[in-house]
């Protein structure tokens, strides 16, 4: 049976005869279907987030695995967590069929090798505390299926993100499914389009919401940002100012004493303690600023 992702889209028939404006309109119409499909999976996404939070709290790691666009999106999401939320690089990892070279150049043949997916999981030594999110729009990618089966055998929690109904033959090795059914692509089979959009939306929610639940966001501010460049240093200063009400110079001085850790600087200024005591207070409160600071109306 032909997968939904391989079917022709009636809305884009004769698209090669359309004007540029008409092509753009078709994209808008189809992208709305992608966001609606993700919204329909809200409960499934929320459950996946809760699974990740529980794993992180027990010292577990999150792995994304995919091929092509799916793999690139997983690597992208994982690589953005350390600067945004000051997570250790090993906490959230992306695995792509073909390795890092596949991030820039297509290595399509690798996705057909389930044994390579299984090997990638064995090399990373997954444990029952870990979570593997397999990403495959069609629900059929052998590399991803091999990884899911190996992760399941290791006792890890397995989540499958695909844009088709849950494949029956995988229900024995997948703990949880997220299945935004986006429908046929504008260009038949080109899952870098709607399926890619849906995948990016889901991954955004999984890691961001998990980090919120771990106390790495206060109000809507990334208080655990790793100030590794000029832009992020300036953002850290603004965050400290916003929460504490101090001027820029005071915020900068506190951040210097806190080794660039905005959350520590905030506690230093509000509790009038040094960086060591501020860090200890945060440790006592599991990293949550809410339980340390008076109510704010930011």
Angle at 62 between CA 57 and CA 65, to 5 degrees: 170
Closest Cα to residue 68, out of 201, 195, 208?
195
**233 Cβ contact list (under 8 Å, min separation 6):** 227, 255, 260
CB atoms inside a 10 Å sphere around CB 99: 13
- Contact assessment for residue 34 and residue 64, using Cβ atoms and an 8 Å cutoff: no
Q: In 155-258, where does DSSP find H-type helix?
A: 194-213, 230-244, 248-257
- Contact assessment for residue 110 and residue 67, using Cβ atoms and an 8 Å cutoff: yes
90 belongs to the catalytic site: no
**19 Cβ contact list (under 8 Å, min separation 6):** none
Out of 41, 111, 185, 252, pick the active-site residue: 111
150 belongs to the catalytic site: no
- Contact assessment for residue 182 and residue 194, using Cβ atoms and an 8 Å cutoff: yes
Element (H, E) at 197: helix 194-213
Residues that are catalytic: 80, 111
């Amino acid at each position: 049976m032909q997968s939904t992702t391989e079917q022709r889209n009636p809305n884009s028939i004769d698209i090669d005869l359309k004007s540029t404006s008409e092509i753009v309109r078709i994209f808008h119409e189809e992208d709305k279907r992608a966001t609606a499909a993700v919204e329909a999976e809200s409960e499934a996404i929320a459950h996946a987030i809760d699974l990740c939070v529980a794993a992180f709290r027990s010292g577990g790691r999150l792995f994304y695995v995919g091929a092509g666009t799916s793999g690139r999106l997983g690597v992208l999401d994982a690589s953005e967590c350390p600067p945004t939320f000051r997570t250790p690089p090993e906490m959230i990892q992306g695995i792509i069929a073909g390795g890092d070279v596949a991030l820039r150049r297509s290595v399509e043949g690798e996705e057909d090798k389930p044994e390579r997916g299984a090997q990638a999981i064995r090399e990373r030594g997954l444990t029952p505390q870990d979570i593997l999110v397999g990403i495959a729009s069609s629900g059929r990618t052998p590399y991803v299926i091999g990884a899911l089966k190996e992760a399941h055998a290791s006792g890890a929690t397995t989540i499958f993100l695909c844009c088709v109904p849950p494949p029956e033959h995988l229900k024995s090795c997948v703990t949880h499914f997220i299945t935004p059914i986006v429908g046929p692509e504008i260009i038949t089979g080109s899952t870098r389009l709607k399926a890619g959009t849906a995948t990016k939306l889901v991954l955004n929610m999984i890691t961001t919401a998990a980090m919120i639940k771990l106390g790495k966001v206060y109000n809507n501010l990334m208080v655990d940002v790793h100030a590794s460049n000029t832009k992020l240093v300036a953002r850290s200063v603004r965050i400290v100012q916003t929460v504490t009400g101090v001027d820029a110079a005071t915020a900068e001085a506190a951040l210097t004493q806190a080794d660039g850790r905005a959350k520590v600087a905030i506690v230093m200024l509000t509790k009038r303690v040094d960086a060591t005591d501020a860090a200890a207070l945060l440790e006592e409160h599991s990293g949550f600023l809410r339980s340390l600071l008076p109510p704010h109306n930011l």
